[in-house]
Amino acid sequence: MTTYMDHPDELGHFGDFGGRFVPEALMPACLELEEAFRDAWADPLFLDEYHHILKEFGGRPTPVTYCERLSSELGIELYLKREDLAHTGSHKINNVIGQALLTKRMGKKRIIAETGAGQHGVASATAAAKLGLECTVYMGELDTQRQALNVFRMELLGASVHPVTSGSRTLKDAVNEAMREWVSCVETTHYCLGSVMGPHPFPWMVREFQSILGREAAQQLVDRGVGTPDMVVACVGGGSNAAGLFSGFANSSARLIGVEAAGGSAIGIGSPGVLHGMRSMLIQSDVGQIEEAHSISAGLDYPGIGPEHAYLAASQRAEYFSAGDDEVLDALQRLSRSEGIIPALETAHALAWVFREVGGQIRRGDTVLVNLSGRGDKDVAQVLDILGARA
Amino acid sequence: MTSLDTTLAALRASGRKALVPYLVGGVSDDWLDHVRAAVHAGADVVEIGVPFSDPMMDGVVIQRAADVSLGRGTTPQSVLDDVATLDVEIPLVVMTYFNVFHHMGVTRAAGALHSAGVSGVILPDLPIEEQGEWRASCTDVDVATINMVAPSTPPARIEQIAKIAQGFLYASARMAVTGAASDEGHALDVVTRSRAVSDMPIYVGIGITTPEQAAAAARIADGAIVGSALVQRVLEGQGASGVEAFVGELRRAIDAG
């Protein structure tokens, strides 16, 4: 039987995907990082410190919440893994604490990061402040305008925010700019990538840092007598929260479901390509130019997907669907009213799919675990604008 | 051994230092005239950029030129179709990002490059670990795969790269993306370490902005690559005459030693 979500091959391949497609100048840094991560991840002292900080500072473990009212309305058993209750309001903290510790272990004093909506930027700035590192965040100029409050949050935390004016001035361009910057400061600076994407070892390493949420969730369901759910569901942009969740269930009988934004569905409408250091599924033109993704949620506004997801899709271990902006807005409101939890717009994609598919992909009576990957506070102003304009 | 290896080895044996100007394909209606002007002014190889939406190794000048070119409807095939009409006596090499050819399919891409008369390809985001299939397809049709070495590349890795390198070794003078620079960079160090393990021609690029810098690079290496400084002049609308004047200046500075 095939084992899923274990190790990539020695060059970082997950089947046909992954690898390391970076300029020669960055190769030594990628190799150094891989070695440092392998070493740290096998070091009990590193693991102790990582888990200690996530517990004492990060608020882990996060609970699993049973949705009583929605379960009854939908005729399923619906559970949420509450990453919205982690520090900084999403699963992003799991990754940045790991990478910030690794930065110090490598003797580097500074991190750079890309961000779209600002969640990973805020988390990176937080980890940098906690561990005494300098931090510069690259953010598309359009996103700095759309998410001005998050820019201020990062600055409050002592980070500097660098608006990116190239290309479409969004997340994809922020990654380009962070990589360009990394070339010039690679000896002193670690690139704290925010998702399960980029060159090896990032997709594997970030998944490992996020696997804590999947392991916790699996154990929590066992502890409360639920056992293995029929289905685990997560939203997917780059795919870090989904990778973390899936890794807890990859070798169980649970169906693994990733939900992309309809306008950023790299599995649904993309084709194989090479971008940002990885071979994966990408949304691109008929001559191989990368296209812009479009989504109501800035966090899913990315034309690619992590290479392990591309592999899980190709091997049919996980299934990927998409949700559109309107049903996402409905799902956000429905969870808020029925369960008292305002989810992030990203997270609402996973919920929208569940609400839509009861009686379709989901049988009545099924047990469904959704990763509540982030809280919606950051999105309420945008949601108010949209709903207000419709009223 | 590709034809490019033979040509560039002969060039070095003749005692002439190579001048490699870079131009972005499709940036204007008369871009082929820019290539001809560069050749006329004394280029030994012309490097032609195929614009890509996400040029990770390029600074602002070449990014802007790529945007201009893509905005005009340039495609990889349209650049190669244009190149095929060029009748010049020197080798032409293409620089782009791997996705462009990955999307085309590597065998088809290698064939298209060959048909267009291209002698070599520089793909900065395709390191040796991922080059196998690409290299084999290109070697089949006599198109060289040109590799870069950087200031951060350790000696053992330079040796690995040099062992399979074709055409010339592209020595990056600094830890930076393409674009103007005023400091000396690490060219001497990179060239010295590369010389120690390879007898290939070594050309220095990245940040070579002025004729003086080009001459300095050519003194320590076998050639100099000048991109952004030339593309900047194209973006300013200096046209073929501007290209000819600047490449001529570079040529004279290099030849003066």
A170 pLDDT exceeds 90? no
**Nearest C-alpha neighbor of A332 from the set A302, A363, A297, A359:** A297
Q: How far is CA B56 from CA A178, A234, B65, B97, in A?
A: 9, 30, 14, 8
Could you say which residues from 133 to 152 on chain B have a Cβ atom under 8 Å away from some Cβ of chain A? 147-152
Mean pLDDT of A91-103: 98
Q: Quick one: pLDDT band at residue A11, thresholds 50, 70, 90? A: very high
A391 pLDDT exceeds 80? no
**For residue B166, what pLDDT is reported?**
97
Mean pLDDT of A286-297: 92
**For residue A23, what pLDDT is reported?**
96
> Within a 13 Å sphere around the CA of A97, how many CA atoms are in the beta-carbon half?
28
**For residue A297, what pLDDT is reported?**
86
Q: Between chains, do A25 and B54 touch, taking CB under 8 Å as contact?
A: no
Specify whether the CB–CB gap between A116 and A145 falls below 8 A: no
Mean pLDDT of A341-365: 97
> pLDDT of A261-285, one tens digit each?
999 999 999 999 999 999 999 999 9
* Strands A17-21 vs A277-282: parallel, antiparallel or unpaired: antiparallel
A24 pLDDT exceeds 80? yes
**For residue A359, what pLDDT is reported?**
96
B70 pLDDT exceeds 90? yes
CA distance A371 to A242: 8
A272 and chain B in contact, CB less than 8 A: yes
Cβ-proximal residues to A1 (8 Å cutoff; 6+ apart), any chain: none
Which overall architecture, per CATH, does domain A59-90+211-390 show?
Answer: 3-Layer(aba) Sandwich (3.40)
**For residue B127, what pLDDT is reported?**
98
Total residues belonging to chain A: 391
- What the block records as the tokens of A262 is 């309809």
Mean pLDDT of A308-324: 98
**Percent of residues, chain A, with pLDDT higher than 90:** 91
A80 and chain B in contact, CB less than 8 A: no
A129 pLDDT exceeds 80? yes
Q: Pick A300 or B6 by higher pLDDT.
A: B6
| Predicted complex ipTM | 0.96
A307 pLDDT exceeds 80? yes
A317: left (phi over 0), alpha (psi -120 to 50) or beta: alpha
Superfamily of domain B3-256: Aldolase class I (3.20.20.70)
**For residue A145, what pLDDT is reported?**
87
Q: Show me where the domains of chain B are located.
A: 3-256
CA distance A93 to A96: 5
Give catalytic status of residue A67 as yes or no: yes
Q: Which residue of chain A is at minimal alpha-carbon distance from B173?
A: A25
Q: Quick one: pLDDT band at residue B193, thresholds 50, 70, 90? A: very high
**Nearest C-alpha neighbor of A310 from the set A250, A262, A239:** A239
Q: Between chains, do B75 and A287 touch, taking CB under 8 Å as contact?
A: yes
Q: Quick one: pLDDT band at residue B20, thresholds 50, 70, 90? A: very high
B184 pLDDT exceeds 80? no
**Domain A13-53+92-202 annotated CATH 3.40.50.1100:** yes
B129 and chain A in contact, CB less than 8 A: yes
**For residue B176, what pLDDT is reported?**
93
A301 pLDDT exceeds 90? no
**Percent of residues, chain B, with pLDDT higher than 90:** 97
Count CB neighbours of B11 within 10 A: 20
B157 and chain A in contact, CB less than 8 A: yes
The number of angstroms, rounded, from the C-alpha of A146 to the middle of its chain's C-alpha atoms is: 20
Mean pLDDT, chain B, rounded, equals: 97
The β-bridge partners of A12 are none
Count CB neighbours of B114 within 10 A: 17
The β-bridge partners of B48 are B23, B94
CA distance B18 to B5: 13
Looking at residue B153, the DSSP 8-state letter turns out to be -
How far is the alpha carbon of A297 from chain B, nearest alpha carbon, in Å?
22
Q: Pick A85 or A169 by higher pLDDT.
A: A85
CA distance A6 to A208: 9
Which of B55, B100, B127 has its CB closest to that of A27?
B127
> pLDDT of B103-124, one tens digit each?
999 999 999 999 999 999 999 9
CA distance B126 to A310: 20
**For residue B212, what pLDDT is reported?**
97
**For residue A296, what pLDDT is reported?**
87
**For residue A241, what pLDDT is reported?**
98
Interface test with B, best of A26, A34, A180 (most B CBs within 10 A): A180
Q: Quick one: pLDDT band at residue A94, thresholds 50, 70, 90? A: very high
Looking at residue A290, the DSSP 8-state letter turns out to be B
Cis before B76? omega within 30: no
The number of angstroms, rounded, from the C-alpha of B171 to the middle of its chain's C-alpha atoms is: 11
A142 pLDDT exceeds 80? yes
Q: Show me where the domains of chain A are located.
A: 13-53+92-202, 59-90+211-390
**For residue B237, what pLDDT is reported?**
97
CA distance A266 to A281: 6
Catalytic residue among B5, B30, B44, B47: B47
Q: Quick one: pLDDT band at residue A298, thresholds 50, 70, 90? A: confident
Q: Is B124 helix (H, G, I), strand (E, B) or coil?
A: coil
Q: Which residue of chain A is at minimal alpha-carbon distance from B77?
A: A287
